[in-house]
Each structure stands twice: as structure tokens, then as C-alpha cells.
């Protein structure tokens, strides 16, 4: 080797050592991933916290760290995952279906192809809470009232519109519709500035604890819809709001409604190895995970593979096959 070529080879080797790695050699660097959730008084936000807590216990081994962001909800999360602003997100099962099929909020943009399912989590109910003094006993009593249907970006906004439409209420003309964020709406209801609010959420949630703890008396309003509604929207199922979590509400029994599931999603660009590690940690620490929120009490590993319409991320699929949960 000539002196000149030795200097070149030596400098190259030194550059590689100093930079730590070239493309594809970044294994020694911790990879940060952000999970998009919802408002801080919902269940998505603590769910993001629960997932990161379990997975981050292995952060040194996996060289990966999850962080949680409070967001406007499902629709925002899908869009931010697609644009690369978020890596993971919690999304209602019905919105996941709409996004992958290019319907509703994604009608103009078309199918959101890179969106991948990881697992589903707790059930959520489309929950309608009204001030007792507003005299709202059923959905159609909302006519002429001042109602929070949810911020654009939330999952509940389209759920509220579907429910209202089913009883012949046009949300633009027949009610005074507000687009408040879920974390703000209970305070506004208690202040007397709105009559009712919709929120699609797991139970118990901080939002309804807060909304039922004020001086203005409130009650959950039953949402009873015919079979034709469920035939038109097959991703909705009958559900209840469990009243035991809210002893100060003006109801004595569980309140009928309809529901969806919270699901955990990501993008195909997120490496399979990292998604595999996320799934493995949640499923292998399943009992500890379930203890992190009362809304998870009914979860089984098998149930967490249902309610998904986007294709499974290859990293998730690999784990489910290894664990015998998928053929």
C-alpha cells in the first residue's frame, strides 16, 4: 500500500468510526417514536402512556423509545401518521375502516395505503351527556339545542353526525353545533354554555368524571337506533355506557348506545423489527398492561386481533404467527 492510499483508507475508517454508522448501520442509536392519542381527559392519552411504559422498560435492549402526544383524536392521528408527523396512533375502528377504504374524511384523498394495523384495544361508546335542565331525554330532543359534536380531527364528530342524521336532525341547520375539543367540552357544559355533548370514548374517562362532578346536574342520554342503522354502518355495534363509573350522573342504570373499538395503528415505513418489539412487549406483559386502565379489564389477547380493517403491519403479523394467535 502506498503512503497516499494508506492515508485514504485510514481516513475513511476513521470517518466511519466517528460517525458511528452509515445508512443501515444505525443500530446503536436510540430510535424515538411518537404515539398520537387524544385529549388528556380521554382514554387514548393514558393508553399511549400505558403502551410506552411497558415497551420503554426495554428501551436499552431495543434501542427504541416511545413518547406520547395529546392530539385532536382519531382523524388527526391517521393524517399525521400518513404525513410522517406521528409514527403510531390510536384510532377508532370505524375511522380506520374509512381511512383504508378512502371514505368519509378520506373521500377526496382516497385510500390511505401505508396505514397498518397493530392491535385493537378497549371498546368505546358514542356517549351523549346532557344537562338535566335542558330536557333532553332522547336523541331527537337535541333539535334546536346547543350541542358539542366534536372538533374536526376527532373520531366523535362523524359518529355524532351519523347518530343525528339517523333521527332526521341536520347538524348544520337543526341544532347549534359546536366543534369543541373533548377536554374543553365538560367545562363548557357545566358553565351552561352548551346543552349537551357527544364524546366517543372508553369508560371510565376523566372527561365524564369531570362532567358529572359539577353543580349543574347532568345525565347520559340513551341512543337507541333501529337495525337499519347497523345494517347501513356495519362497523357500529350496540353498546352501553356503564353507569357504575359515574355515581353522580342522573341515571340509575347502564345507558344504551352504540360503539366502536380503539385500535393501535402505524405506517408501513416503521421498521418491522420495532413494531414486533412493541407487540411482543404488550402481549408478553399482558396482565400488567391490563391493570393500567379499568377500560382494559375485558381484553383478551384474541380480542385484540379483531376490529382491524387495515392490513396488519408485518412486524405485528410476525409476532402473532409466532405466538400462535394467527395462522
Q: Which residues bind ligand GLU (CB under 6 A)?
A: 38-39, 42-45, 73-74, 92, 124, 154-156, 200-202
CB of 309 to ligand GLU, least distance (A): 15
- On whether the CB atoms of residues 114 and 102 are closer than 8 A, the answer is no
- Torsion, CA 295, CA 120, CA 317, CA 64, rounded to 10: -60
Minimum CB distance to ligand GLU smaller for 52 or for 317: 52
What is the secondary structure of 262-319 as a DSSP string? EEEEEETTS-HHHHHHHHHHHHHTHHHHHTT-GGGTT--TTGGGSS--SPBPHHHHHH
* Set of cell numbers at residue 196: 349537551
- Residues 262, 121: contact at Cβ < 8 Å? yes
- Could you tell me the smallest distance in angstroms from the CB atom of residue 197 to ligand GLU? 13
Nearer to ligand GLU, 258 or 276 (CB): 258
Pick 45 or 62: Cβ nearer ligand GLU: 45
Query: Among residues 117, 141, 116, which one has the least CA distance to residue 131?
Result: 141
Smallest distance, ligand GLU to C-beta of residue 45, A: 6
Residue with Cβ nearer ligand GLU (134 or 282): 282
- Supply 298's cell numbers: 375485558
Nearest approach, Cβ of 132 to ligand GLU (angstroms)?
25
Q: Which is nearer to ligand GLU, 90 or 136 (CB)?
A: 90
Report the nearest approach of ligand GLU to the CB of residue 43 (Å). 4
Amino acid at each position: 500500500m502506498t503512503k497516499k492510499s494508506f492515508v485514504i483508507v485510514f481516513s475513511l475508517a476513521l470517518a466511519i468510526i466517528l460517525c458511528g454508522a452509515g445508512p443501515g448501520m444505525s443500530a446503536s442509536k436510540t430510535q424515538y417514536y411518537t404515539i398520537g392519542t387524544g385529549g388528556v381527559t380521554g382514554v387514548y392519552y393514558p393508553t399511549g402512556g400505558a403502551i410506552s411504559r411497558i415497551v420503554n422498560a426495554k428501551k436499552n435492549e431495543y434501542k427504541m423509545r416511545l413518547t406520547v402526544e395529546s392530539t385532536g383524536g382519531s382523524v388527526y392521528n391517521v393524517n399525521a401518521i400518513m404525513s410522517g408527523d406521528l409514527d403510531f396512533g390510536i384510532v377508532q375502528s370505524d375511522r380506520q375502516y374509512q381511512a383504508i377504504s378512502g371514505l368519509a374524511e378520506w373521500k377526496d384523498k382516497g385510500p390511505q395505503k401505508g396505514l397498518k394495523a397493530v392491535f385493537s384495544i378497549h371498546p368505546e361508546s358514542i356517549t351523549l351527556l346532557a344537562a338535566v335542565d335542558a330536557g333532553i331525554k332522547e336523541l331527537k330532543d337535541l333539535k334546536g339545542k346547543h350541542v358539542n359534536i366534536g372538533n374536526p380531527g376527532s373520531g366523535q364528530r362523524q359518529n355524532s353526525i351519523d347518530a343525528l342524521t339517523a333521527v332526521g336532525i341536520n347538524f348544520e341547520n337543526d341544532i347549534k353545533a359546536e366543534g369543541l375539543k373533548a377536554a374543553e367540552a365538560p367545562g363548557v357544559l357545566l358553565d351552561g354554555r352548551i346543552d349537551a355533548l357527544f364524546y366517543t370514548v372508553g369508560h371510565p374517562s376523566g372527561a365524564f368524571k369531570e362532567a358529572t362532578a359539577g353543580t349543574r346536574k347532568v345525565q347520559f342520554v340513551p341512543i337507541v337506533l333501529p337495525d337499519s342503522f347497523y345494517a347501513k354502518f356495519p362497523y357500529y355495534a350496540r353498546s352501553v355506557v356503564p353507569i357504575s363509573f359515574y355515581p353522580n350522573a342522573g341515571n340509575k342504570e347502564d345507558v344504551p348506545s352504540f360503539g366502536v373499538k380503539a385500535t393501535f395503528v402505524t405506517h408501513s415505513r416503521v421498521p418491522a423489527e420495532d413494531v414486533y418489539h412493541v407487540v411482543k412487549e404488550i402481549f408478553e406483559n399482558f396482565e400488567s398492561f391490563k391493570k393500567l386502565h379499568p377500560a382494559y379489564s375485558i381484553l383478551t389477547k384474541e380480542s385484540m386481533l379483531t376490529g382491524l380493517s387495515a392490513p396488519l403491519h408485518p412486524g405485528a403479523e410476525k409476532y402473532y404467527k409466532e405466538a400462535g394467535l394467527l395462522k
